[in-house]
């Protein structure tokens, strides 16, 4: 009898431990990760009232913060809070994001927020724009890469004023649009290229982007290179470099490059919820390798794909 009771007690204890350590996949679309002082900050699309923030010290164990990093009412926008990007500039933290299909930039003293705007207004560019990414060049100049809804989703760039108040509209230039077979597998009359992320290796600029409608299982990521921030851009012949072919997950795309502990390079992105369902989309990361030069070849590292999870 005592042995049976001991066995039952062990079972209860084991079940309790398992229940306490069960994890859920984080579900943020269009994710971005900002890294500073041994801490990773994760943001993305998913909350109608603004942007959530998660933190981790190792990319394995994540904490969700109760307070939104940006909350509706403290900055521009009433709905459609999409695709944030965090960057540090002049000892302040900035969040570029889309809301109401326009682009705004909010500021904070901390990566946790709150990100706010004194004048709650978007960048004064005509038409609809989404998916902002601000790139600081090695000479200190700032560029706003973004998507304009113009005969499809097309990626543009413009010089950003040094005070981040607006763009220099005279520099607005189209970078790329979807024109290759892998970029429009459904043959849509509204081709999509979106989710730009820009980095620089040596003297070349690398523009990562996603193509196809995000609901398409073939949503995927490629990159192009240029000798200038404005182009012309040459698409890598091995595109797509990230897709369901190397993740095993439908709808793999729309993310951000980030450099982690020890200089390791990663891409954070989202996938469909399941083989049959698009949302709520799951958040994942994969390692990247850079080989060769002029241009370098960037590829995913085998066996590094994983979903980001949080303990219940």
CA 10 to chain centre: 44
pLDDT given for residue 264 in this prediction: 95
Task: Look at residue 7 in the predicted model and tell me its pLDDT.
Answer: 44
Tell me what pLDDT residue 292 has.
Answer: 87
CATH 2.115.10.20 fits 25-311, yes or no: yes
The neighbour count for residue 29, using CB atoms within 10 Å, is 23
Which residues sit opposite 250 in a β-bridge? none
Q: What is the pLDDT along the chain (312 residues), one digit of tens a residue?
A: 454 544 444 444 445 444 456 899 999 999 999 999 999 999 999 999 999 999 999 999 999 999 999 999 999 999 999 999 999 999 999 999 999 999 999 999 999 999 999 999 999 878 999 999 999 999 999 999 999 999 999 999 999 999 999 999 999 999 999 999 999 999 999 999 999 999 999 999 999 999 999 999 999 999 999 999 999 999 999 999 999 999 999 999 999 999 999 999 999 999 999 999 999 999 999 999 999 878 999 999 999 999 999 987
Q: Residues with Cβ < 8 Å from 102, sequence gap 6 or more?
A: 76, 77, 122, 123, 128, 129
The CB-based long-range contact list for 156-161 (8 Å cut-off, 24+ gap) reads 156/129, 157/229, 157/230, 157/231, 158/125, 160/134
């Amino acid at each position: 009898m005592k042995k049976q009771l001991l066995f039952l007690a062990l079972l209860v204890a084991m079940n309790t431990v398992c229940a306490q350590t069960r994890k859920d996949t984080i579900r943020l679309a269009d994710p971005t990760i900002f890294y500073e002082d041994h801490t990773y900050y994760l943001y993305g699309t998913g909350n109608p009232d603004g942007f959530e923030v998660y933190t981790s010290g190792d990319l394995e164990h994540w904490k969700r913060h109760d307070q939104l990093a940006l909350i509706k009412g403290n900055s521009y926008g009433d709905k459609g809070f999409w695709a944030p990007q965090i960057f540090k500039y002049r000892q302040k933290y900035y969040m570029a994001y889309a809301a109401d299909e326009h682009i705004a930039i909010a500021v904070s003293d901390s990566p946790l927020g709150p990100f706010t705007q004194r004048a709650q207004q978007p960048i004064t560019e005509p038409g609809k724009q989404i998916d902002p990414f601000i790139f600081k060049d090695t000479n200190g100049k700032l560029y706003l890469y973004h998507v304009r809804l113009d005969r499809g989703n097309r990626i543009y760039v413009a010089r950003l004023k040094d005070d981040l108040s607006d763009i220099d509209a005279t520099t607005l230039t189209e970078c790329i649009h979807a024109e290759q077979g892998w970029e429009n597998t459904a043959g849509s009359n509204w081709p999509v290229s979106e989710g730009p992320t820009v980095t620089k290796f040596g003297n070349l600029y690398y523009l990562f982007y996603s193509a196809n409608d995000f609901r398409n299982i073939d949503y995927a990521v490629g990159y192009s290179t240029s000798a200038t921030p404005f182009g012309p851009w040459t698409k890598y012949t091995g595109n797509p470099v990230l897709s369901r072919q190397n993740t095993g997950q439908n709808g793999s795309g729309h993310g951000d490059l980030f450099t982690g502990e020890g200089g390791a390079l990663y891409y954070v992105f989202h996938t469909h919820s399941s083989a049959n369902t698009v949302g709520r989309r799951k958040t994942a990361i994969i390692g990247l390798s850079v080989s060769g030069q002029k241009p370098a070849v960037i590829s995913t590292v085998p066996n590094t794909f994983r979903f980001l999870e949080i303990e219940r």
